[in-house]
Structures are given as structure tokens and as C-alpha cells.
Amino acid sequence: MKDIRGIDPQLKGIAKKIPYNRFMILVAKPYQTLALKCTKIPDGVACRRVLLTENGRKLPIDIYEPAAVTDVLPCLLMIHGGAFSYKASVYHKKLACLYAAEVRCRVVFPDYHLLPKYPYPAAYEDCLAALRWIVENAESLRIDQTRIGIAGDSAGGTLAATLCNQMTAEALPFPCAQMLVYPAVDATMSTQSMAQYSDTPLWNSRNNQKMWKLYLKKADSVLIRKASPMQKDLPDMIPQTYIETAEYDCLHDEGVLYAERLREAGANVDLNETKGTFHGYDSAIQTQIARTQIAKRITFLKKCFSCEK
């Protein structure tokens, strides 16, 4: 593996190697549920929960929004990462609140169904249901239907990219933005960084291989192509795109290659290759390095949401 002594000193405290297996998934769920409940909503942000039903499954959705604001606002469908296996982490909740407050938008945050019980396409169907619900209820939700963005990190980036590539096929309005943070977009795992980073902090190629195996367990070749954005045919229209990669991350190269693929298809892509970072580095949300990159995401969203349609 390539030397990773270049990791930013601010991130040393979270630079732990974490195994990925069914036992870890089982153990993490109650802890994450409790941690999320105990994480306070900051002043200036309100949160409400709705419960949808998709394919006979209950789908909880949290909406984070500027407090006491009744104006029609843009909307960000934010899809959390976690290897399609883990619930949202505390920092995901903090990010959702930060985006709502700083961008002044409504952040729709689905609690989609997870591995190992629910392989593909369950998570995609949940996120698609959340997006349809936004579009169909935009007036009552006080959401500007012309200013809907889709964002996701890691496995959430997979789902966000898949949704953006399926908007025409799903007969949904064209989104004004897609924001992909160190996304997993290539099920073939054939890049150089995938070969290099097999034991990096928080996530690595060995874990990544296990994840795709679980996620695509019940998928045939057609579904596998649909589930992997790098293999899926791109639509004629591609939203304004922000892709962020981490330097010491097995997913680094596929993020760069996906940006190149989108550009070749005519998309406007902001590629932010962060340095001294590893997958999930922004969970250290109070560090300066994380804050600097999060500010770039906020700038991108503000730019997309301020465009006249």
C-alpha cells in the first residue's frame, strides 16, 4: 500500500482502521440510533419527521429547515453514506443542519433500508420514493420544484448519482445540482487507488469489496449495470455537479474518472480533490480541514440554488 504519512495532523485522532462485517453492522445500529437521538438540533434550525410507505416498508424521513421560515425554499435530498449498511452518523445530522442553515434550504433526509437484510434495489427505491414525494408535495412542503438538488456521500453518493442518471426514465423533473462526496460509483473496483488502499483508515478496498457483494447479492447483470453509475449509460441532461474526493481513499480514482466521464458527456463539473484526507475525514467536522471543504460544498449549493430557472 502507498505510504499515507501525508495524512493531515488534524485527522490523526479519527485515523482508525475499522472492520466491516455483519457483526459490526449489528452492533453499530443501536449505538447510532441512540447517538442520533441525543444529537441536538442547533438554534435556527427546525426538524420534523414524516413517515412514508414504500413497497410495504415504512420509510422515515426527516426534514431539516431554517426555523420559523415559511417562504418557498430550495430543497436538498441528502442521502447519507455508510456502506448501504449503517444508519446515518452524528456528523451526517450535523451536516444536514448546517446545509439547511447556511444554504437556506429544506434538507430532506431519508432513513432508507439497509444491508444485509435489504440488498439492491431497496435503498434506491426508498430514495426514489423520497424524491417523488418531494416533487408531488412541493407546494405543501414550500419547496421550489425547479430548485431541487441531490447529494450523497460514499454509498449515499452511489444512490445520488444513480437517481440523477434515472430522472428522465423515472419521469421526474431535472435536478439543478448533484453533489457527490467521495462516492462509490464503480462496482468493478478496477482503479489504481482501489489496488493501493487496502488498509486505510475508516474504509478500504477490502471493505469495499464486501459491501458491493452484499449490495448486489440479488442483482442480475442488468441490475448491476444500473446500480453502478460508472457502467450505467448517462442521460442526455446532467445536472451541475460537484465531486469531492479524499487523497488516501480507495474510491479516489473512480471519483476522478466519473468526473471526467460526466465532463465528456457535456456536464459542468466542479472536482475537488482534497489533500491529506481519507474516506470519511469530514466526520471530524470541527477541524479546519473539514470546515474548509464543507464551505466549498455550501458555496456550490448556493450557486446552483440561486440560478434563475
Catalytic positions = 154, 249, 279
Angle in degrees, CA 89, 191, 22, rounded to 5: 40
Specify the amino acid at residue 101: A
CA distance 45 to 61: 16
Which stretch of DSSP H or E encloses residue 78? strand 73-79
Which stretch of DSSP H or E encloses residue 20? none
CA distance 243 to 245: 7
111's CB contacts (< 8 A; 6+ apart) are 59, 60, 61, 62, 87, 88
Kindly state the cell numbers that stand for 3: 505510504
Angle in degrees, CA 13, 186, 207, rounded to 5: 40
CA distance 159 to 283: 20
